Amino acid sequence: MKDTKKIDLFGLFYKNSLVVEAIIILVVFQVLTGGSFLMVRNVSNLLMQGATYSIIAITMCLVIITGNADLSAGRFLGMIAMVAAIVQVRQSNIPSIVVVIMVYVIALIVGLFHGFWVGYMKLPAFIITLATQLVFLGVNQYISGGRIIGPIKGIISAMGNGYLPSISGKSNDTTLIVGAIIIITYVWIVISKERNNIKQGFDKSPLGKIVLKTVVISALIATITIILYSYKGFSYAMLILFVLTLIISHISKNTKFGRYIYAIGGNVEAAALSGINVAKEILKLYVLHAIVVATAALVCLGRLNSATTAGGMGYEFTAITGCVVGGTAITGGRGLVAGAVIGTMIMAILDNGMSLLNLDPSLQYIVRGAVLAFAIALDAYANKRQTKTVHAV
C-alpha cells in the first residue's frame, strides 16, 4: 500500500477517527461549557468516571470479537457491587480484602455459567445474557430490599476513590514518576515494535510518521499527567485501567488464547477445524470477562461509596458503543483492546460533557444512540470501500 498520490480524505479520517472524534468532542464541550469542561478538576473526575466503563470495555471488546455479546455486564456490575457493599456494611469485622476475594469468586462462577451456555451449549450469547441480566437485577433488589447501602471502606474505597500517595508528602511526586514511566514504556514499545519489524524483514514504516506520532502521544500523556499532578494526581482507578489494558492487549496479540479469539470471530468453522477447542476458549473468555467486570464493579463501588439497585444500569451500552466507536467490528473478528478503551473513554467524555451542560436527559439518549449508529455506519462504509478496492495478488 504505497505511493497513493491522491489524498484519500475519508481513509485518512477513518484511520484517525478516534483522534478526530476526541478533538471535536473536546473542543465542542470546551466552548459550550465556557471553559469549565477541561478544568483540572473535571478532567480528573472524567477519567475516574470513564475508568469504570472503560474497564468493562477491555474484555467486552474481546467478547464482541468472538462474535458474541454480553448484555448483562451492567446489571452484573450492579449486583456484585451490592453484594460487596452489604457484606462490608453488615459484617464490618470482615476485612475488605476478603470481600474482594469473595467478589472474584462470584465472578468466576458467573463467568463459568455464561461460558458454559454460550460455549458448550452453543446458546446465543445475546439471549443468555439478556436472561441473566434480569436475574442479576432481581438478586440485587432482593438482597438490598431496594435500599442504598454504604458507606464503603478499605481497599474497595481506595480502588475507586484513592489517589497515589506522595513520597515527599508535599506534592504528587509519584504521579510525575508514573507519568514518566508510562511515556518511557510507550516509547520503548514503539521502538521494539519497529525493531521487530526490521528483524522480521518487513518494510520500515516512514521514520517521520513514527516520530511525529510518538511525540504527539507522549505530549498528550505528559499533558494529562501535569493536569492531574496539579489536582490530586493519578488515582488507583486510572492505574487499574491502564495496567489491565496493557496486559489484556498484550495477551490478545501474543498468546494462543488471544489468537484463537480472533480466529473464532473471523471464521468459527475454520477455527474448529484448525484444532481450536472453540467452547473452551469461549469459556475462558467469559471467565476473564466476568473477572474484569468485577474489577470494574469494585472501582465503581469505591467511587460512588454506596450501592443501589439502579447500579450499573446501561453500563454495558456505554461499553459496547465504546468498542464500536473504537473500531471493534460488531460482526466479530476485528478490533483492538486499546481502541475499545479509548472509544469508551470518548463515550464517557460525551456523557460527562452533556451532564455538565445540563442537557435534557431525553436529548442525551438521542445523542448517544446517534453516536452508536454513526460509528456502525462509519465502520460499514469503510468496509464496503475496502471490498471495492480488494485485489487478487
Partner 1 sequence: MEDYILQMQNITKEFPGVKALDGVSLNLRRGEIHALVGENGAGKSTLMKVLSGQYNDYTGNLILNGEKVSFKGVKESEAAGVAIIHQELGLIQTLNVCENIFLGNEVCQNSFINWDYQFTHSKELLERLNLKVNPRTRVGNLGIGQQQLVEIAKALNKNCKVLILDEPTAPLPEDDSENLLKLVEDLRDKGMSIVFISHKLNEVFQIADTITVLRDGQTVDYKPAKEFTQDTLVSSMVGRDISTSFEKRDCPVGDVELRVSNWSVYDGINSKWLLQDVNLEVRKGEVIGLAGMIGAGRTELGMSVFGGLEGAISGKLEYRGTERPPFKNSGEAIKAGLFYATEDRKRLGLILNSDIAYNASLSSLDKFIDKGIFINRNKEYGKVKELSGKFRVKTPSILQLAKNLSGGNQQKVCLVKALMTEPNVLILDEATRGIDIGAKMEIYQLINQMAAQGLAIIMISSELPEILGISDRIYVMREGRISGEFDNRERTITQQDVALAATKGNEI
Contact flag: residue 389 with partner 1 (CB under 8 A): yes
**Residue 302, amino acid:** G
Only segment of 13-21, 41-49, 271-279, 337-345 that touches partner 1 (CB under 8 A)? 271-279
> Among 50-58, 87-95, 96-104, 262-270, which window interacts with partner 1 (CB under 8 A)?
262-270
Three cell numbers written together for 144:
438490598
Query: Closer to partner 1 at the Cβ: 333 or 343?
Result: 333
Return the SS3 of 149: strand
User: Which is closer to partner 1, CB of 213 or CB of 253?
Assistant: 253
Decide: is 274 part of the binding site for partner 1 (CB under 8 A): yes
The region of 49-57, 96-104, 215-223, 247-255 touching partner 1 under the rule CB under 8 A is: 247-255
Q: Which stretch binds partner 1 (CB under 8 A): 112-120, 124-132, 177-185, 250-258?
A: 250-258
- What is d(CA 269, CA 140) in angstroms, rounded to the nearest whole number? 39
Burial readout 10-49 (b: 16 or more C-beta within 10 A, e: otherwise): eeeebeebbeebbeebeeebeeebeeebeeeebbbebbbb
Return contacts of 103-109, CB within 8 angstroms, 24+ apart. 103/294, 103/297, 103/298, 104/291, 104/294, 106/80, 106/294, 107/80, 107/287, 107/290, 107/291, 107/293, 107/294, 108/287, 108/290, 108/291
Output the smallest distance, CB 123 to partner 1, in A. 17
- Determine the interface stretch with partner 1 among 22-30, 46-54, 228-236, 272-280 (rule: CB under 8 A): 272-280
Give the nearest distance from C-beta 132 to partner 1 in angstroms: 28
205 binds partner 1 (CB under 8 A): no
Question: Is there binding between residue 259 and partner 1 (CB under 8 A)?
Answer: yes
Specify the stretch interacting with partner 1 by CB under 8 A; choose among 77-85, 174-182, 274-282, 374-382: 274-282
65 versus 77: smaller Cβ distance to partner 1: 65
The alpha carbon torsion through 7, 13, 14, 17 (nearest 10 deg) reads 160
Angle at 348 between CA 239 and CA 353, to 5 degrees: 125
Other C-beta atoms closer than 10 Å to the C-beta of 88 total 24
DSSP category for residue 35: T
Whichever of 170 and 209 has its CB closer to partner 1, that residue is 209
What mask of x and - would describe binding to partner 1 in positions 276 to 315, judged by CB under 8 A? Answer: xx--------------------------------------
**Does residue number 5 form part of the binding site for partner 1 (CB under 8 A)?**
no
Min separation Cβ 237 and partner 1, Å: 27
Question: Grid coordinates representing 230?
Answer: 496539579
One of 10, 202, 365, 381 touching partner 1 (CB under 8 A): 202
Does position 10 bind partner 1 by CB under 8 A?
A: no
Residue 262 engages partner 1 in binding (rule: CB under 8 A): yes
Q: Which of 36, 166, 254, 355 binds partner 1 (CB under 8 A)?
A: 254
**Measured from the CB atom, is 207 or 393 closer to partner 1?**
393
Give whichever of 283 and 350 is closer to partner 1, judged by the CB atom: 283
Cell of 200: 522480521
Which phi-psi region, left, alpha or beta, contains residue 333 (left: φ > 0; alpha: ψ -120 to 50)?
A: left
Question: What are the Cα distances from residue 146, in Å, to 138, 205, 310, 314, 371?
Answer: 10, 57, 9, 18, 33
Measured from the CB atom, the residue of 34 and 203 that comes closer to partner 1 is 203
With beta carbons less than 8 A apart as the criterion, state whether 118 and 58 touch: no
Q: Does 223 bind partner 1 (CB under 8 A)?
A: no
Site for partner 1 (CB under 8 A): which residue of 113, 116, 257, 317? 257
Q: Name the segment binding partner 1 (CB under 8 A); options: 90-98, 260-268, 296-304, 318-326.
A: 260-268
- The region that residue 35 occupies, defined by phi over 0 for left and psi between -120 and 50 for alpha, beta otherwise, is left
Task: Give the helix/strand (H/E) hosting 54.
Answer: helix 40-65
Residues 156, 239: Cα–Cα separation, whole Å? 14
What's the CA angle centered on 212, arms 206 and 215, to 5 degrees?
A: 135
Q: Total binding residues for partner 1 by CB under 8 A?
A: 37
Whats the size of the chain, residue-wise?
393
Give contact residues for partner 1 (rule: CB under 8 A).
Answer: 1-4, 196, 199-203, 250-251, 254-257, 259, 262-263, 266-267, 269-277, 333-334, 389-393
